[in-house]
Structure 1
Amino acid sequence: MSILVTGCAGFVGAYVTKALIARGQRVVGIDNLDAYYDQQLKQARLDRLCAGPEFHFERLDLTDRDGLAGLLDREAGITAIVHLAAQAGVRYSLVDPYAYVNANVLGHVTLLEAARRLPRLDHLVYASSSSVYGLNDQLPFRESQRVDRPGSLYAATKRSGELIAHAYGHLFALPQTGLRFFTVYGPWGRPDMAYYAFARAIADGSEITLYEGCGLARDFTYIDDVVDGVLRVLDHPPAAGDAPGRTLNLGNHRSEPVALLVSLLEQALGRGARTRLIPRPATDIEATWASVEAIEALTGWTPKTRLQDGIPRFVAWFRAYHGVV
């Protein structure tokens, strides 16, 4: 019996893979190691995963239908899938929209087509995003809210993934749960995320760009809490006959000012930030805040890590990885 993890060289994917192996499960990991951000970081994450019989890695793009079908033919004992592969980044969707449609829509369909033919599949957990809440301004964001006003193409592709999952659940009784991640951060994170880019700029003495206005805030969710949530949800597949297309928020249930993030980075790095203010782009919503009552009721999960505790842990890793004194 094995679990398939897509995007296993990604930030969340590598942590989830490591946690699954630690609890004694065999993992089949796939990743295309695309060049959207530092491939050496992705390879370093992979290197932390053991190369023994409990982990098998294949470099594969999800849109490769034949390659994916061949892999799943060889791994017919897969009982669960954690689908985390995606084209990430909100603002980059203005630069290369085709990459988002290819990875987040076509890749999602390709995986679902293959998954529905797995004879022993009990549950497919896939990554959605808090971005699907789009232009909603009623906080905290709840799963019951309408999500039909995306603020970016990235958000639109993630919402498309939820709708496609609903259709496959309805047509093929495919048990699935979509997790709407809220600003995941921590060691081994993504360099394109604001907290990582801010840390690098503060360490280098270069400017960081902040958006004008005092209302900019995010629900920052520490990676260990995210992994705990993913595994708990994976262990709670929808019951037979449940409505298809279950989605759950996975956030810290706190909306923290971005100014606090900068202050914590300054304290942990022991250096002040040089800042420049610009208007907030149309792709970025002003604030996010997750209601997590639904996931808590289902699994007992609650977030445990405050931003004040998580940022110093990230900075300790950042110093070691980048050799920052």
Structure 2
Amino acid sequence: MPTALVTGAAGFIGYHVCEQLISNGYDVVGLDAMTDYYEVSLKEARHARLESEKFTFIKGYVEERDLLMGLFETHKFDLVIHLAAQAGVRYSIDNPRSYLESNIGGTFELLEAARAYPPRHMLLASTSSAYGANTVMPYVENVRADHQMSFYAATKKATEAMAHSYAHLYDLPITMFRFFTVYGPWGRPDMALFKFTKAILEGGSIDVYNNGDMSRDFTYIGDLVSALIRLIDVLPERGSAPAGETDSLSPVAPFRVLNIGNSSPTLLMDFISAIELATERKATCNMMPMQAGDVPATWADATLLTQLVGEIPHTKVPEGVAKFVNWYRDYYKC
């Protein structure tokens, strides 16, 4: 059976990706450092659900020298899905070195291992934050994205450039994904949906930035995983014809950047209303100014994704939020 490496396997997205790959017959090697950026018990609970003869767990940091090289040598991976990263825009202001080490250093170690033991396809996570100060929406993959607003975004944009250079030099098929505000069951405690749900159910207040004048292209986790799985067999090929006039396919490398989003931005206050509906509680909002490094809106153009894999599910925000709230209540017994 094909063997896949998933970095960040105990993370929110990584857990769901591993679960689907195993269901599809892959042998999966999952790498995760189990850092304490948020509660480790949640990562451990995700990991416990993956335990099977089809899943091998390795605890370690992606930036650890020679760790990935050894894994690539041993397993000769057919597929690599790189999701390990230090996440979070706001935390990057306080602790930028962790982003340098994990995001840039870790991606370098991954690319070096892939150069020595090339997989069939590498899928690497980027972020919608890479679009930075761009105000023309929806965001299209082939527009310039040169003005990142946070160090987190800067490190992810740097990994795109690094990956392109390796794709060009060593003919490594690489697809980069710019994710748009992913949410759903088993989500991260530092994300708005988790924080808002927790506060509302506990009778606390929530901090609403930019006085609520924000919108996000909230993307349900199941929709994202569906897109990733379909894209496994869509390899970018050097010199092939673009899928359309907005295709980001490189002219000099088997490399492409793709948006994965819901293609439908939701106002923050409407998102909060969906949480209120699902929890049957009213939120107490603390209206706050915009935080440093943040952007007022995101909106994905998913035309290229649709051209490559066809239509993917687009879960409506009220439905996705309700699924998260149901999971949260069950997991925390509240």
**Range of TM-score over shorter length:** over 0.9
Query: Where does residue 61 of structure 1 map in the other structure?
Result: 61
Structure 1: gaps spanning 5 or more residues: none
How far residue 322 of structure 1 moved from its aligned partner, in angstroms, is 1.0
- What is the percentage of aligned positions where both structures have the same residue? 44
1:276-306: CA deviations, max 9, x gaps? Answer: 1111012110000000000110111433201
RMSD: 1.1
Contact 1:292 1:302 in 2 (8 A): no
Equivalent AA in structure 2 for residue 172 of structure 1? Y
1:99-123: CA deviations, max 9, x gaps? Answer: 001011010011000011115x110
How far residue 50 of structure 1 moved from its aligned partner, in angstroms, is 2.9
Contact 1:232 1:301 in 2 (8 A): no
How far residue 206 of structure 1 moved from its aligned partner, in angstroms, is 0.9
Q: Distance in 1 between matches of 2:72 and 2:175?
A: 21
Q: Distance in 2 between matches of 1:293 and 1:66?
A: 39
How far residue 212 of structure 1 moved from its aligned partner, in angstroms, is 3.1
Is 1:70 matched up with 2:70? yes
Query: Which deviates more, 3-12 or 110-119?
Result: 110-119
Query: Where does residue 9 of structure 1 map in the other structure?
Result: 10
Equivalent AA in structure 1 for residue 299 of structure 2? W
Q: How does the TM-score come out when normalised to structure 2?
A: 0.94
Query: Where does residue 44 of structure 2 map in the other structure?
Result: 43
Q: Distance in 2 between matches of 1:301 and 1:239?
A: 22
2:208 counterpart SS class: strand
Q: Distance in 2 between matches of 1:81 and 1:138?
A: 33
1:258-297 equivalent positions in 2, closer than 5 A: 258-297=268-307
Q: Distance in 1 between matches of 2:88 and 2:217?
A: 16
Q: How does the TM-score come out when normalised to structure 1?
A: 0.96
Match of 1:182 among 176, 180, 183: 180
Q: Distance in 2 between matches of 1:212 and 1:122?
A: 44
1:297 counterpart SS class: helix
Query: Where does residue 170 of structure 2 map in the other structure?
Result: 172
2:176 counterpart SS class: strand
Structure 2: gaps spanning 5 or more residues: 241-249
How far residue 214 of structure 1 moved from its aligned partner, in angstroms, is 5.2
Query: Which deviates more, 89-98 or 210-219?
Result: 210-219
Is 1:127 matched up with 2:137? no
Is 1:308 matched up with 2:318? yes
Query: Where does residue 160 of structure 1 map in the other structure?
Result: 158
Q: Distance in 1 between matches of 2:270 and 2:140?
A: 24
How far residue 239 of structure 1 moved from its aligned partner, in angstroms, is 2.2
Is 1:28 matched up with 2:29? yes
Number of residue pairs matched? 321
Query: Where does residue 308 of structure 2 map in the other structure?
Result: 298
- Structure 1 residues 240 and 136, CA gap change in structure 2 (3 angstroms): closer
How far residue 240 of structure 1 moved from its aligned partner, in angstroms, is 4.3
